[in-house]
Amino acid sequence: SYEVTQPLSVSVPLGQTATITCEGDKIRTRSVHWYQQKPGQAPVLVIYRDSNRPSGVPERFSASNSGNTATLTISTVQAEDEADFHCQVWGGRIVVFGGGTKLT
Amino acid sequence: QITLKESGPTLMKPTQTLTLTCTFSGFSLSTSGVGVGWIRQPPGQALEWLALIYWNDDERYSPSLESRLTITKDTSKGQVVLTMTSVDPGDTATYYCAHARGSEESYFDYWGPGTPVTVSS
């Protein structure tokens, strides 16, 4: 079965750029979706189909997908961005979530 | 405006059957490219996808739980029901339902607030 791996945590100073990765074999051939989840809340879609931002998501959220790594980038990180981030792909007929990355 | 809300028991005993209902509005499950999925999250752990049903009755299940899960839809009522048999403490989690968009490599663009389920003797 297909698996994706995320770092457990990423720490970045306010105002700097955060990079969160999602690794999987030839992940470039799959669409990657990203969710932000704040404590006690449901996940929120922030990126769909590799690099598309839903309406209402700040422009500082961007993403790419190449080779074996998909990357979520948050530029000029703000305090409100602190959360868990989850990547999601499809492995054949099933949904696969990464283990989640805590951004502090 | 798309909204979803989960409902069901908050406390279960081992071996019981869990039935969760997702009541939604703002979309129809008869519209092409639309689905509703169930995802759970044990305390302090990652998201785990459970099942998904599409507008065309296509059902998908997590391989590790497939033998215990059944997902059904009632389009006229705006509901999707997930049934899980033989629960045990490892099924303790917050359960979410979510609107799935796209017939290929769907993503979940709207989520319910989640409902906590505890399994304990």
- CB-CB neighbors (< 8 A) of A96 in chain B: 49
CB contact B35 to A (< 8 Å): no
| Per-residue pLDDT tens over the stretch A83-103 | 999 999 999 899 999 999 999
Pairing of strands A94-97, A83-91: antiparallel
Please tell me the number of Cα atoms within 13 Å of B62 on its side-chain side. 17
% of chain B beyond a pLDDT of 90: 98
CA separation for the pair B12, B9 (Å, rounded): 7
Distance (Å) from the alpha carbon of B17 to chain A's nearest alpha carbon:
23
Q: Kindly list the distances between the CA atom of residue B59 and the CA atoms of B45, B82, B113, in Å, as whole numbers in the listed order.
A: 26, 11, 23
Give residue A60's identity as a one-letter amino acid code: R
Query: pLDDT value at position B104?
Result: 86
Q: End-to-end CA distance of chain B: give it in Å, rounded.
A: 40
| Per-residue pLDDT tens over the stretch A4-47 | 999 999 999 999 999 999 999 999 999 999 999 999 999 999 99
User: Is A31 close to B108, i.e. CB distance below 8 A?
Assistant: no
Summarize the confidence of residues B99-120 as an average pLDDT: 96
